[in-house]
Amino acid sequence: MDLRQLEYVVAVAEERSFTRAAARCHVVQSALSAQVARLERELGVTLFHRTSRSVRVAPAGELLLPHARELLRGAEVARAELAGFSGVVTGRLRLGVIGTAAMRLPRFDRALLAFHQRHPAVEIAVHDTGSRHMAEAVRTGDLDLAFVGLYAEQLPPGLVHHLLADEPLVAVVAPTHPLAGRDGVALDELAATGPFIEMRRESGLRLQADAAFDRAAVERTVAFELGTPDAVARYAGLGLGAGLVPASTARAAARVAVLRLDDPTARHPIGLVHRAPAPSTPSARAFLAVVLGTGGESPGRAGPTGDPRR
């Protein structure tokens, strides 16, 4: 087998289509299909179950996929490391970025621009699949770094956590809400007034909100699950329920009443995470240096020791 064949196998598995895989790999479909079929003959196995309407990964394909990804990733790192001898950073930078990072971290935009200007040969791919998913993707090597809404002790093992921002959570409700006009509120009072508008379950903000309700031993009814804190505030302003959002989101929202929570530990962080002890690719190491060089906190290992909020 060769790396090109492995690239085709991974593309077909992820796209669930030979046509889309060929477009992704910039080859004609007949050439891609021929290479996959040739690999199947050489290995004596079936990698994909094909019908006129669908493509499914066969058990042998599932077995091959993690090895194929690891080999392709190793080749990419090797090429980038060798390019580094000439002083040129190349390859791909795979970033996970929560939607609030740009709003709450002006230096994120500055760092991204500075990195691109310094290393224009690096291809940058940005993803947002939720903090918990992205932290796991960093652990498995599917992402190089991720900006997540998690504290260090909320991460999978083996990651380094740099705390970049940390702010209180507040409640947002419609101006006509029974508690509008109050300065502060307890979660049990808020839960008694009706349903809540929450972020999707894989988000860091949802994890922090759930933790706040757990500390208060309060159960609530969730009526909506949304994709951004801005959307949570907007739905709250429409009178569809109450929501918990970072204070900066509430300040930017229109037509909402903002209530301070009586739990001072209800907070939302933004942390930059990577595999320990350092990112594996030159591009990721270079980006990390740019971010921390713009005023990032000193790194701390993820783990149960210490208080990451300090």
pLDDT for 83 equals 67
pLDDT exceeds cutoff 90 at 1: no
- CATH 3.40.190.10 boundaries in the chain: 92-164+270-301
- CATH 3.40.190.290 boundaries in the chain: 166-268
Q: Give me 272's structure tokens.
A: 């930059």
Q: 3-state class of 97 per DSSP?
A: strand
Q: How confident is the model at residue 117 (pLDDT cuts 50, 70, 90)?
A: very high
**Residue in 257, 254, 258 with CA at minimum distance from that of residue 176:** 257
- CATH 1.10.10.10 boundaries in the chain: 3-84
pLDDT exceeds cutoff 50 at 308: no
pLDDT exceeds cutoff 50 at 310: no
Protein fold of 166-268? D-Maltodextrin-Binding Protein; domain 2 (3.40.190)
Q: What is the pLDDT of residues 233-242, one digit of tens each?
A: 999 999 999 9
pLDDT for 102 equals 75
Domain 92-164+270-301 maps to which CATH number in 3.40.50.620, 3.40.50.1100, 3.40.190.10, 3.20.20.80? Answer: 3.40.190.10
* Domain range 3-84, CATH class: mainly alpha
Q: What is the pLDDT of residues 65-94, one digit of tens each?
A: 999 988 888 887 777 677 666 667 888 899
Please give the Cα distance from 252 to 11 (Å, whole number).
41
Q: Give me 175's structure tokens.
A: 């101006």
Please give the Cα distance from 210 to 154 (Å, whole number).
13
pLDDT for 89 equals 84
Q: What is the pLDDT of residues 172-218, one digit of tens each?
A: 999 999 999 999 999 999 999 999 999 999 999 999 999 999 999 99
pLDDT exceeds cutoff 60 at 306: no
Q: Which residue has the higher pLDDT, 298 or 224?
A: 224
Q: What angle do CA 241, 270, 286 make, to 5 degrees?
A: 145
Mean pLDDT (whole number) for 212-238: 96
Q: Could you give the percent of the chain with pLDDT greater than 70? A: 93
Q: Could you give the percent of the chain with pLDDT greater than 90? A: 75
Q: What is the pLDDT of residues 259-268, one digit of tens each?
A: 999 999 999 9
pLDDT exceeds cutoff 60 at 16: yes
Which residue(s) pair with 244 in the sheet?
Answer: 171
The backbone torsions φ and ψ at residue 305, rounded to the nearest 5 degrees and listed phi first, read -85, 145
Q: Which residue has the higher pLDDT, 305 or 211?
A: 211
How many other C-beta atoms are found inside a 10 Å radius of the C-beta of residue 91? 22
